[in-house]
A and B are shown apart, each in its own frame.
Chain A
Amino acid sequence: AQSVTQLDSQVPVFEEAPVELRCNYSSSVSVYLFWYVQYPNQGLQLLLKYLSGSTLVKGINGFEAEFNKSQTSFHLRKPSVHISDTAEYFCAVRRRSGGYQKVTFGTGTKLQVIP
């Protein structure tokens, strides 16, 4: 079984300040890791993904995430946020092998950028 924990349901941050959205996962096997973003009244779109190799992954819109295997974390960061980053962010995991690979989502973190 696998699970994803996003401890922060809401994160308010001032414009141009840095932000970190936290994600921890649990799985008995190796996984792929994803961050998705959902803008108001839209579906989800992929922000970035970790498959293998470098543990620092860069995504769209200036976001990056770091995979930490020992801490089973995949935190999302941006050095300077914009108003347009206001959205809900979902961390997700999928095991690498073994039949259908179910994607498990966290409960989401709402990022509110304050002007």
Chain B
Amino acid sequence: DVKVTQSSRYLVKRTGEKVFLECVQDMDHENMFWYRQDPGLGLRLIYFSYDVKMKEKGDIPEGYSVSREKKERFSLILESASTNQTSMYLCASSLWGTSGTGELFFGEGSRLTVL
């Protein structure tokens, strides 16, 4: 089974702190994604990556950056956390192109609270 592991389930940070959210997948998937989940808004795509060192902005990239130095690892970075970034963050991975249908495999989520 595909396993997507997010390093922290719960984090509490202060405004202005730098925050790292780590995600690792073990199925050699090309694509990796970071979503933000808020009540009533569903899942919104922050950034995605289709290859090592490649990244593309999603729908709400402002205030976030990402890093993909290795195929299995995709990090989300909040350079200066703000209270409006309090949310659930979900990492996902998928196969690319005709070898996959785009089915997403999700981690268990990281719930971030910014005080």
Contacts and interface: CB of A to CB of B under 8 A. Distances in A.
Interface string B43-66: 101001010000010000000000
| Size class of the A contact interface (CB-based, 8 Å) | 20 to 34
Nearest to B50: A100
Contacts of B92: 43-44
Interface stretch (A11-19, A45-53, A76-84): A45-53
Given A100-B50, A100-B56, A44 B104 contact: yes
Given A90-B43, A107-B41, A101 B107 contact: no
Interface string B14-58: 000000000000000000000000001111010010100000100
B56 A49 contact: no
A108 B42 contact: yes
B90 A44 contact: yes
Nearest to A45: B106
- Interface hub of B40, B50, B92, B106 (most chain A Cβ within 10 A): B106
B99 interface: no
A49 B90 contact: no
Contacts of B50: 100
- Interface hub of B41, B45, B56, B101 (most chain A Cβ within 10 A): B101
A44 to B, nearest CB: 5
A106 B42 CA distance: 6
Interface string A89-112: 010101000001111011110000
Interface of A: 9, 32, 34, 36, 41-46, 49, 51, 90, 92, 94, 100-103, 105-108
19 contacts: A9-B40, A36-B104, A42-B109, A43-B92, A43-B107, A44-B90, A44-B92, A44-B106, A90-B43, A100-B48, A100-B56, A101-B102, A103-B45, A103-B104, A105-B42, A105-B43, A106-B42, A107-B40, A108-B42
Interface of B: 4, 40-43, 45, 48, 50, 56, 90, 92, 101-104, 106-109
